Amino acid sequence: MTALLSDFNKKTASAAGGGRAFFTTIQHVQGTQMTNRIPELVCPSGNLPALKTAVDNGADTVYMGLKDATNARNFPGLNFDMNSARAGVEYAHARGRSVLMAINTFAQAGQVERWYAAVDTAAQLGADAVIVADPAVMAYAAKRYPDLRLHMSVQGSATNYEAVNLMKDLFNVRRAVLPRVLTIDQVKHVIDHTDVEIEVFGFGSLCVMVEGRCILSSYATGESPNMQGVCSPAKAVRWEQLPDRMDVRLNHILIDRYKPNEPAGYPTLCKGRFEVNDETYYALEEPTSLNILEMLPEIIKIGVAAVKIEGRQRSPMYTAQVTKSLRQALDAAAADPSHFRVNPAWSKALDKVSEGHQTTLGAYSRPWK
């Protein structure tokens, strides 16, 4: 099959100016225009090299965060300052791609001005949209910058169309990112009852909790991931290399122990191994990555507006491999949905960067029902 080329429409009137129009991709295959809308491929950018890598490997849209607690990947050495953010926006826009600014934690009491300032920064930089969870921050963005697109973060925990439509009525939310706890039928139900664009996760670290509502790690660290922007603060994590094993501690609490060469997951309580009834195992969740390659034709069919890759905390190499694989897979699924097959090369590339070296369809598919 000949290469698939995406024809990206340019924005003509927006607060950002220069990004591509949302959810307007049309495919051209062997000179024939196709009617299938391909969901936007929204890719992680933890730093400027990762942003450029995502754009160069086929991302339609990249998302970034600032170097503070306003975003949910608040790790030392990660994220953007003004100079790198400006360079990233310019790089993406020059190539017809869009940039989203993640301001997706909840404002801490007495510090909401920091979250408002992040919205100001996004507007000044020319971001195409802001991804927001806190209703107060949504209200500020909607009132102060009515032409700046507002996307409801997965941290906002919208699991039904009533919640999505409420956010549209209150704040003119244009897109909602759904939590990774819904079946594909439930996702379709939301899409069928709203004109708000719906974005879903397609690959990356899997969270079994309803995003925005989990405070599990705060019992060990004393800090809420929903306000501090990280489940396991780097200052609380300790990896102890011993002769026969690797111990992992979160704020001095032993949460896992790995044998030599054993794949390790993120150092979080939910993915730790614990002794329960004299057995040691993953009591809540095994380290696993979400991978929806085989479901892409159905994702396209039900009208999902965007497929998101998790992983702003991962390396540019991760970003390159996952973006390239998802780009090719999305194009192939849209070109010929009925004959779509997962290319083994895509699976191999994704398996290499999967947490715990294993993947799952997650809640999208529930075969036990």
Q: Strands 98-103 and 129-132, how do they pair?
A: parallel
Whole-number Å distance between alpha carbons of 130 and 282: 36
Residues in the chain: 369
Please provide the distance, in angstroms rounded to a whole number, between the alpha carbons at the two ends of the chain.
38
For residue 332, the number of C-alpha atoms closer than 13 Å in the C-beta half-sphere is 17
Q: What residues are paired with 205 via a beta bridge?
A: 289
DSSP-assigned states of every residue in 299-365 = HHHTT--EEEE--TTS-HHHHHHHHHHHHHHHHHHHH-GGG----HHHHHHHHHTSGGG-EE-GGG-
Residue 187 is classified by DSSP as H
Whole-number Å distance between alpha carbons of 283 and 163: 31
CA 138 vs. chain centroid, Å, equals: 19
Tell me if 65 sits within 8 A of 47, measured CB to CB: no
Tell me if 101 sits within 8 A of 131, measured CB to CB: yes
Three-state DSSP class for 30? coil
270 is in an annotated binding site: yes
Tell me if 309 sits within 8 A of 326, measured CB to CB: yes
Burial class (CB in 10 A: 0-12, 13-18, 19+), 84: middle
Three-state DSSP class for 122? helix
207 is in an annotated binding site: yes
Q: Match 């909602």 to its residue by tokens.
A: 176
Tell me if 122 sits within 8 A of 140, measured CB to CB: no
231 is in an annotated binding site: yes
* Cβ neighbours around 5 below 10 Å, total: 10
Binding-site residue numbers are 207, 214, 231, 270
Binding-site residue numbers for [4Fe-4S] cluster are 207, 214, 231, 270
